[in-house]
Structure 1
Amino acid sequence: MAGAITPVVRVQRADFDMDTECAALAPGGDTGALVTFTGLCRDEDGTLGALELEHYPGMAEAEMTRIANEAIERWPLTALAAIHRTGRILPGENIVLVIAGSAHRGAAFEAASFVMDFLKSRAPFWKKEHRTDGSEGDWVEAKDGDTAAMRRW
């Protein structure tokens, strides 16, 4: 299935709109399911004022593309997009969007989950916390659950 579609992969400071991104993929024809995942910035029980996301330019996009292409090889997809924001992101704002389209929902759900699991663990992004009390928080470390989720694939 590799090469059947070209994934949309972007790293950007600007917010994204899920409806616009879904429409841009122009699902149709054999697309019977379009699965989306949007990751949002949490407020951590009111203690987090913002996250600052940084990435390694060029390397982040290359790794995202590698992950997307692996999903395209594994599942019969008709569309795939992975968009990740950088910069200062406030609680409630979008961080990441994954869209997977396929003829059937199973492949779309699995591909979207696969892409997100690998983005969380393998893509070179770093998150710095900024607290509501004005103090700087920590750099967010990878969670054991993220690594465990990735192992299932």
Structure 2
Amino acid sequence: MNKDKLKQVKESFDKITSQNSTNWKLVLFWIFCLEVVAAIVEFIWVDKYVEYSVKVPHTPTVEVLVGLGVTIFVWFCIYTIIYDDTKNRFRLLILTLIGLYFVVTNDFSLQFLLNNLNPLHFFELDFGAVLILELLFKLIILYLIYQLIISAKKNKQDIK
């Protein structure tokens, strides 16, 4: 690849993820999304999740709460489709990722996700495709944190 093509790819990535370092909320949204996806990927392919996951017993109270959550989610989906609100699409995607995380991991205490935020947990992983994929996710998140800092500085300057 030549330098112009790489520069074009970087500019396209910056436009999608942070509107060229101007929207800190969009950067935070992408950081959250990538972190949840990285946690789900690690949960599926790494066997050490049992140490960090707290099982919630299936009681009638839990079933009612899950049913209420699903009902609110479906209502929110229908509301977003009917009124076609862009802000609600991002909220809907966040709720979808959280729901997907709960369904896949069955970790309602979020302990596994919090452990995945720890950058030193890589030393516990065996070398393989999962480690490489997790490192790729973390490098992208690190770049997005850099974009977050830049956009926060730009917003601070715009306020003055």
Band of TM-score, shorter chain:
under 0.3
**TM norm structure 2:** 0.27
User: Which structure has more RCO (C-alpha within 8 Å, separation ≥ 6)?
Assistant: 2
Q: Relative to total residues, which structure has the larger strand share, 1 or 2?
A: 1
Query: What TM-score results when the alignment is normalised by the length of structure 1?
Result: 0.28
Larger radius of gyration: 2
